[in-house]
Amino acid sequence: MGLVDRLIRTVVAIVIAVLYFAHVIDGTLALILGIVALIFLLTGVVSFCPVYALLGLKTCAEEPTPAPPAAPKA
C-alpha cells in the first residue's frame, strides 16, 4: 500500500472520529462510519488491504528490476 493511500485512509478515519465526537453524526450512521474508520485506520497502519489483495491492486511504486549482467565480449 502506497504512502498516499495510507495517508488518505488515516485522514478519513480522523475526520470520522472528529465528526463523531463533535456530535455531527450519531446513531446507526455513527456506528457504521466508526467501523469504517477503524478498518481504514487498521489497514493504514499495517499497510495491507485484503480487498486490494483480492482484486490485485497495488498503490505503491514498483521497484525497478535490475538489468541482467552484460555478457563479456570476446
pLDDT tens over the chain, length 74 residues? 788 889 999 999 999 999 999 999 999 999 999 999 999 999 988 888 888 788 888 777 666 667 677 767 76
pLDDT on residue 27: 95
- Report the sign of the C-alpha dihedral through residues 25, 27, 28, 30, in that order: positive
Task: State pTM to two decimals.
Answer: 0.71
pLDDT on residue 1: 72
Any idea which residue has 480487498 for its cell?
A: 51
Task: List the one residue out of 47, 65, 68 whose CA is nearest residue 3.
Answer: 47
* Dist. CA 26–CA 53, nearest whole Å: 32
Q: SS3 breakdown of the chain: % helix, strand, coil, rounded to 5?
A: 60, 0, 40
